[in-house]
Amino acid sequence: MYPGYYVDNPQPTNTNPLYYIAPRDLANCFSQSPYVQAYPWTPSKWSSPGGFGVKYSNPLTLPGVFGYGVAFCGSTDIATVSGFTPYVAAYPWTPGTGFGVKYGNPLTLPTGWGENVAFCGSTDIAVAHQTSPYISAYPWTPGTGFGVKYGNPLTLPTMDGSGVTFCDSTDIAVAHNSSPYVSAYPWTPGTGFGVKYVNPLTLPASTGEGVAFCGSTDIAVACYNSPYVAAYPWTPTVGFGVIYANPATLPAVHGYGVAFCGSTDIAVVSYNSPYVAAYPWTPKVGFGVKYANPATLPFYVGDGVAFCGSTDIAVADSSNPNVSAYPWTPGIGFGVRYNDPIIVAAGYGLKVSFRI
């Protein structure tokens, strides 16, 4: 068994006072070779000081040039998208060991520059990309890789896909560059896209740069123009509800990414300082009062954001070390910034993902 942690058992019916937690991992992608890097990750709430472990070895076969998005498939696989063919690269993943031998490319490649990637459990994978149809999705089998590409949705997203996310196994949403800026569809593993949901009554303000679901209750879109984030109630089989009120304190100029922390918090990353803004979140209510900025800000433009359960938050930023990470406490917010990883790549960070 790979190294883990024994912590207080939260199940009082269990006679064992300790229980085992496997280690976690963090991956981020960036603009220069090797385009993706990954580290073991330890929340400081488990073991002080926590944070980045020793960097995993690079994959033997690197992704294409310019890493734009990265996602884990549970504990078994990892995928990243890039600016050059084949636009998506996927690898077996072993916690404590890292990248395995690259899976074969999908028979039908995405048609352009990969912008983001998401897994639907362990059954499917989707890539948001430039060039029509702007979204490509495939069955996924751990240990085998890509299946035959699903048919395109009948109503395509409009212009380049910038972000993609699944709502459990029932829905998929794509953020994109032209009105209505977000498109959502029912999703069925083994079948693919259903008929596009009706657009929200109030559209995001401009280009959708990122999109995230809060369980099956809400959806948020990071957008380029003010208010830089738009959030809506979400109901599977129904779609978008009436847009939530904007947060009282908006994120900084140009929203580039968005993520939920369970059903308690939401974070948006942006082009201008402080580069990340976080808020309490209540499903069916919306934004709370903005949390205080982290004491030590990310170094530059925030391009991607991810939560590690409810213990940590990381921001992919456009200056060395490409990623900034903080302890996170719902109701309190940012803790003291973790030490930077010892080994970092050149270039600027674009997206970040935790394996939990």
Give the 3-state DSSP-derived string for 90-143, with helices as H, strands as E and coil as C. EEEEECCCEECCCCCCCCCCCCCCEEEEEEECCCEEEEEECCCCCEEEEEEECC
Sheet of 208-214: strands edge to edge?
208-214, 218-223, 229-235, 239-240
Low-confidence ranges of the chain (pLDDT < 50): 1-15, 17-19
Predicted pLDDT of residue 343: 77
Predicted pLDDT of residue 46: 83
Give the integer Cα–Cα distance in Å for 50 and 182.
37
Q: Which residues of 54-88 are buried (b: 16+ CB within 10 A; e: fewer)?
A: ebbebbeebbbebbbbbbbbebbbbbbbbbeeebb
Which one, of 24, 101, 88, 16, lies nearest residue 58 by Cα? 101
What tokens does 182 get? Answer: 């977000």
State the number of CA atoms in the 13 A half-sphere of 324 facing the CB.
Answer: 24
Give the integer Cα–Cα distance in Å for 218 and 103.
34
Which one, of 216, 206, 163, 209, lies nearest residue 186 by Cα? 216
Give the integer Cα–Cα distance in Å for 42 and 89.
26
The full set of domains in the chain, from first to last, is: 5-355 (2.120.10.30)
Predicted pLDDT of residue 45: 85
Predicted pLDDT of residue 21: 59
Q: Helix, strand or coil for residue 293?
A: coil
Predicted pLDDT of residue 9: 38
Q: Which residues of 304-342 are buried (b: 16+ CB within 10 A; e: fewer)?
A: bbbbbebbbbbbbbbebbbbbbbbbbbeebbbebbebbe
Q: Give, rounded to a whole angstrom, the gap between the first and last alpha carbons of the chain.
A: 16
Percentage helix, strand, coil for the chain under 3-state DSSP, each rounded to 5: 0, 45, 55
| Interacting residues of 258 by C-beta distance below 8 A, sequence separation 6+ | 210, 211, 212, 220, 221, 222, 229, 266, 267, 268, 269, 305
